[in-house]
Amino acid sequence: MPDSLHEKTAAELGECLAQGEASAVEIADAFVARATAVDEKVHAFLHRDDEDFLAQAKRSDERRANGQSRGALDGVPVALKDVISMKGQPLTAASRILENYVSPYDATAVVKLKEAGALVWGRLNLDEFAMGSSTENSAFGATHNPWDLSRVPGGSSGGSAAAVAARQAPLTLGSDTGGSIRQPASLCGVVGMKPTYGMVSRYGLAAFASSLDQIGPFSQTVEDTAILLGAISGHDPLDSTSYPTEVPDYRKGLTENQGPWKLGLPKEFFGEGIDDEVRRLVDEAIAFYQAEGHELVEVSLPQTELAVPVYYVIATAEASSNLARYDGIRYTHRSERAENAIDVYSKSRGEGFGEEVKRRCILGAYGLSSGYYDAYYLRAQKTRTLIRKDFEAAFEQVDAILTPTSPTAAFKQGERSDDPISMYLSDVFTISVNLAGIPGISVPCGFTKDGLPVGLQVIGQAFKESEMLAVAHAYDKTHQFGRRYPEL
Amino acid sequence: MSEIQYEAVIGLEVHVQAETRSKMFTRVARGFGEPPNTLTDPVVLGLPGALPVMNLEAIEKSIKVGLLLGCEIARVCKWDRKNYFYPDMPKNYQISQYDQPICLGGEVEIELEGETRAVMGPHRKVKLTRIHLEEDVGKLTHYENDSLVDYNRAGSPLLEIVSEPDLFSPDEVFAYLTSLRNSLVYAGISDCDMEKGQMRCDANVSVRPVGQKELGTKVELKNLNTISGVRNGVEYEIQRQTSVLREGGSLTQETRRWNPDQRYTTAMRSKEMAHDYRYFPDPDLMPVKIDDAWIERIREEIPEMPFDKQRRFIEQYGLPYSSTSPLCPDKELCDFFEATVARCKDPKKAANWIVNDLLRELSSAGDEEGPMPLGNAKMTPAHVAELVNLVEEGSISSNIAKEIFPETFATGKMPAQIVDEKGLKQTSDTGELETICSQVITDQPKAVEEFKGGKENAINALKGQVMKATRGQANPKLVDEILRELLSQ
Amino acid sequence: MKEPQTMDVEYAANLARIDLTVEEKKKFNGQLGDILQYFEKLKAVDVEGVEPMAHAFPRHNVWDEDESRAGFSAEEALSNAPAKRKDQVVVPKVIEE
Ligand SMILES: [Mg+2]
Ligand SMILES: [Zn+2]
């Protein structure tokens, strides 16, 4: 075999396993070795249970030997952002307040992965409670961008993106509330996708903003994302917001659906504030579609400017309530200075939460507080309706929308740490997708002259992941920028 | 100058646990008396990633309560989060209903004490504001230096029934809670056992000069753990407030705790600490839509309410109020009564047997937990009906019937069988009775003389001897006739 | 010039039950003010008659039948508790407000 196992895509690993060219144990060993070799530099993982990983691999090999293989993912590693519960494994959300927490149950996505035979392994770094765009807000140290270790990997799922970029896992899961999968995918040069709200169960995902959160895949290729998405999607009776709809065969859909498509270019997304090189690379990708015979149409999403403030009002309000449970009473960090029960709350939370989490919980509590609810939360919810209507109108004209994923390539660590608003603006192109509830994917579309990856965002219609993936795949199958990876 | 007269105005907030198999937002079992923290799962404990899913049965029970109390049922209701921190609340927010509760308005019919226990008292309808559904919290036990938390109760479905400030005395409060409890138990919503925390009550109490329209300063009373406790606490608080005002003092809006042992209230929280609950719609849950067909289906399941049944029993069966008042609060007993009446001819007698003898036997067969449940008794409506019929037919005397009741109750044997086995059938054989009566007249010359001398009562002594000689089986009416006949000769 | 937006950081931090250091208070006062200033954009939007969007894809009546499943043992329930006794969570003395 020319490539090492850790360089392969999930599809290739599945093929190797099917052909008997590699065993699941060999694959697991290869990734343990790779992570051991490079994670000191990247710091994608917060925790790895290699023993459990190898035990799962052994069971996978036994199944295969008994003719009971469970399909394309049986024996393929999938690593998890450290906000997705897996029974017996830690879940810290990169926060001191959960430093010693071990989950006593599996998230639905994990149950589904185990049913598919995937080797579910490792806890990946993030911005504390998924609040951030750089993975610098981790209580356990920042993750570094594998393409330039002095730069951020994006966030909040920076560990999930960096792990794929550094070939420490072929597939990972992240969570996306305002771009937390797509933006780090773009900054790390991998594919990252946020499904339609309700496609993937949130049961077991430590909530940040309940009406926006979705779990989604990272991979080297759109094809791998289609495989992983198929495994984790579907209605879950344990999540009341999970949508009862059929899960199509996404992998098949990649080639069945060839267009020609009408692709929308929202004029509000191509204005000022975009880095020139990002602009150039995205334009080239757009030109490719045109050359392939697809029609490009200018569309308008007039409320785009409001997406960031709407998002921060809604997300912080929901977060202030969702994070109230981290209080030092029932699990993990309790302040030693607490003298009575009321003290336990403010002291444990004061000690246990990092600065950004505190900032957002306080902002969220304020936005819901007596006298401010109508002006902030309610008004934001109404404006959210207008943002969704913008997309509905656009999708009357086009099949999918193309935009840059992030206005810039990876920025330097520390560069935006003390300016929350500039950090919030890194998500300006991804946030409105969460607000509208629709799916979006970031596909690598080249490198800046400094060698930093750039992503193209494809936005699809609600519950039409299959079509969106086909559009993304049309570009990805011929360019394969996600298959490149940096020297480490 | 005459002293100002004050009147009390009281509103009640009653929390009732709906009896369901599983909790409000997760399917782990709901219950009481289980080992600590075993009725828990990720949702109950508010673990990272846990999500709520509604319990259909709890919603149906809420609609049922709304219908039986005459509320308007919301066509759409939704779930809100009430945010506050407390160690008994796992998520530090309670899923509740804020501006779109499941039931609006409604009323609770109450009965106040009558002139005597034998007379029906005046009835009145107390207005309700709303009823909403929410989740219960866990249970804290306080020790000297710390507290322990058991989350078994957390997440149980809880109905909050809020009255208007439409109660005006401790007795009305007592009547309201009694009536509400009876209705909810009737409809199978809850056992409403306050000792087990299945029903809990907070009272808002204020006083104002008679004639004043605006309400006085409101005090919220907590820790009212029994229905009598609510009455006592409210009574104390009315007196306290009245004397503060009489002495020229002023009242603060506050929460006070009732101390049932020392029988006084103490301040808990002041107004400055008023909570800012930051209610907002729970993004994890979808709203409930309720259509006419659903409401009508539930309406059909609603049983006749206790006061309606009482009025009907009085009218249809001619029962005296004194029989209906122990009968009607207990639906099972009422069903037992009606099943008995279906098999016998005398509803009044049947009611007497049930409210006197049957209740007495149940209570002496009980234990410290209370009387034996009717369902556990071997006695059935057929037994009581047979007893009534045997007396009615003249087969046994009512004394014999009284005598065999405990045995029927204890063994479940039919009364006729006991009568047969023991040869207790009433003697109506005139020849035999004439012989016995003649003998008694011969044996009791003193009583005969007294009777003949005009002392009417003296005949009872003779009757008693006849009954004794027949071991109680003589037909008393017949004995009376024969004795008079013989004595007149 | 717009009025600088202010926020009662102490009040909101108390609602959120988060102790702040003196430096944090100072820093947040400025930053949260800027963020509120940024939120001012929302006030200019005409939302007259617009339905608030509480869910991305609203549905109704998402529920379960009332059937019970087995839950945690006390040991599992308390596996992450910082302090426990008698199968219960220990909390420092609860002082009623
Ligand atoms: Mg209340
Ligand atoms: Zn309540």
Least confident of A415-429, A467-481, B105-119: A415-429
Mutation target to probe the A interface, by most A beta carbons within 10 A, among B83, B145, B279, B284 is: B284
Q: How confident is the model at residue B269 (pLDDT cuts 50, 70, 90)?
A: low
B430-487 is classed CATH 2.40.340.10: no
Q: Check pLDDT > 50 for residue A1.
A: no
Q: Which ligand is nearest to the CA of B162?
A: 1
**Average of pLDDT values for A60-83?**
97
- Separation of alpha carbons B328 and B189, rounded Å: 18
Q: Could you tell me if B22 lies within 8 Å of chain C, comparing CB atoms?
A: yes
Looking at beta carbons, which residues of chain C come within 8 Å of B288? 60-61
Q: How confident is the model at residue C2 (pLDDT cuts 50, 70, 90)?
A: very low
Least confident of A23-27, A377-381, B66-70, B250-254: B250-254
pLDDT tens digits for range B382-429: 999 999 999 988 888 888 899 899 999 999 999 999 988 887 777 667
Distance from the Cα of B253 to chain C's closest Cα (Å) equals: 15
- Separation of alpha carbons A478 and B435, rounded Å: 124
Looking at beta carbons, which residues of chain A come within 8 Å of C51? 382, 385
pLDDT tens digits for range B443-476: 888 888 888 888 888 888 888 888 888 877 777 8
* pLDDT value for B396: 85
**Average of pLDDT values for A245-259?**
94
Residues lying with their CB under 5 A of ligand 2, a single-atom ion: B 160
Helices (H), B328-423: 331-341, 347-352, 359-364, 381-393, 398-411, 415-422
A3-263+403-483, superfamily in CATH? Amidase signature (AS) domain (3.90.1300.10)
CA B474 to chain centre: 42
Q: Which residue has the tokens 């004394």?
A: B399
Q: Check pLDDT > 50 for residue B479.
A: yes
pLDDT tens digits for range A324-345: 999 999 998 999 998 888 889 9
Residues 6+ apart with CB under 8 A from C36: C5, C6, C7
| A138, A156, A201, A233: the active-site residue | A156
* pLDDT value for B489: 76
Q: Could you tell me if B215 lies within 8 Å of chain C, comparing CB atoms?
A: no
pLDDT tens digits for range A35-46: 999 999 999 999
* pLDDT value for A2: 43
Q: Could you tell me if B215 lies within 8 Å of chain A, comparing CB atoms?
A: no
Is residue A238 within 8 A of residue B53, CB to CB? The reply is yes
* pLDDT value for B282: 98
Better pLDDT: A343 or C74: C74
Question: What percentage of chain B has pLDDT greater than the value 90?
Answer: 75
* pLDDT value for B432: 80
Q: Check pLDDT > 80 for residue C13.
A: yes
Residue-wise over A202-222: b if at least 16 C-beta within 10 A, else e? Answer: bbbbbbbbbbbbbbbbbbbbb
* pLDDT value for A433: 98
Q: Check pLDDT > 90 for residue A422.
A: no
Q: How confident is the model at residue B6 (pLDDT cuts 50, 70, 90)?
A: very high
ipTM of the prediction: 0.96
For chain A, give the mean pLDDT. Answer: 96
* pLDDT value for A271: 83
Distance from the Cα of A28 to chain C's closest Cα (Å) equals: 30
Looking at beta carbons, which residues of chain B come within 8 Å of A345? 85, 92
Q: How confident is the model at residue B482 (pLDDT cuts 50, 70, 90)?
A: confident
Helices (H), A116-169: 158-165
Q: Which residue has the tokens 């089986």?
A: B473
Domain boundaries, chain A: 3-263+403-483, 305-381
**Average of pLDDT values for B175-192?**
96
Active site residue A156: yes
Looking at beta carbons, which residues of chain A come within 8 Å of B278? 320-321, 365, 368-370, 373
* pLDDT value for A369: 93
Which pTM value belongs to this model? Answer: 0.92
Domain boundaries, chain C: 9-43
From the CA atom positions of chain C, what is the Rg in Å? 23
Question: What percentage of chain A has pLDDT greater than the value 90?
Answer: 93
* pLDDT value for B468: 84
Q: CA nearest A158: which of A71, A44, A236?
A: A44
A366:C32 CB<8 A: yes
**Average of pLDDT values for A466-485?**
98
* pLDDT value for B236: 96
* pLDDT value for B137: 97
Q: Could you tell me if B39 lies within 8 Å of chain C, comparing CB atoms?
A: yes
Task: Using CB atoms, pick whichever of C60, C63, C94 lies closest to residue B87.
Answer: C94
Q: How confident is the model at residue B88 (pLDDT cuts 50, 70, 90)?
A: very high
Q: Check pLDDT > 90 for residue C75.
A: yes
- C-alpha torsion B363→B369→B374→B377, nearest 10: -80
Q: Which residue has the tokens 């067909």?
A: B293
Is residue B94 within 8 A of residue B137, CB to CB? The reply is yes
For chain B, give the mean pLDDT. Answer: 93
Distance from the Cα of A448 to chain B's closest Cα (Å) equals: 38
Tell me the three state secondary structure of residue B26.
coil
CA A227 to chain centre: 16
Distance from the Cα of B53 to chain A's closest Cα (Å) equals: 6
Distance in Å, CA B229 to ligand 1 centroid: 19
Q: How confident is the model at residue A416 (pLDDT cuts 50, 70, 90)?
A: confident
Is residue B42 within 8 A of residue A206, CB to CB? The reply is no
Q: Check pLDDT > 90 for residue B369.
A: no
Active site residue A180: yes
Question: What percentage of chain C has pLDDT greater than the value 90?
Answer: 74
Looking at beta carbons, which residues of chain A come within 8 Å of B87? 329, 341, 344
pLDDT tens digits for range A55-67: 999 999 999 999 9
**Average of pLDDT values for A289-298?**
98
Is residue B298 within 8 A of residue B64, CB to CB? The reply is yes
**Average of pLDDT values for C67-95?**
95
| A133, A180, A242, A466: the active-site residue | A180
C78:B37 CB<8 A: yes
Distance from the Cα of C43 to chain B's closest Cα (Å) equals: 20
Q: Check pLDDT > 90 for residue A78.
A: yes
The DSSP call for residue B373 is P
Q: Which residue has the tokens 């029927």?
A: B408
Tell me the three state secondary structure of residue A197.
coil
C69:B39 CB<8 A: no
- Separation of alpha carbons A175 and A231, rounded Å: 16
Helices (H), A2-47: 10-19, 24-42
Distances (CA, A) of A463 to A240, A397, A440, B57, B144: 17, 17, 11, 31, 57
Looking at beta carbons, which residues of chain C come within 8 Å of A340? 92-95
**Average of pLDDT values for A127-153?**
98
Active site residue A81: yes
pLDDT tens digits for range B210-267: 999 999 999 999 989 899 999 999 999 999 999 999 999 999 999 999 998 888 888 8
Better pLDDT: C75 or B436: C75
Tell me the three state secondary structure of residue C64.
strand
**Average of pLDDT values for B53-79?**
98
CA B76 to chain centre: 32
Neighbouring chains to B with at least 3 Cβ pairs closer than 8 Å = A, C
Distance in Å, CA A399 to ligand 2 centroid: 49
B52:A240 CB<8 A: yes
Taking phi first (over 0 means left), then psi (-120 to 50 degrees means alpha), and beta for anything else, what does residue B142 get?
Answer: beta
* pLDDT value for C5: 60
Q: How confident is the model at residue A373 (pLDDT cuts 50, 70, 90)?
A: very high
Size of interface A-B (CB pairs under 8 A): 103
The residues pairing with A66 across neighbouring beta strands, listed in sequence order, are none
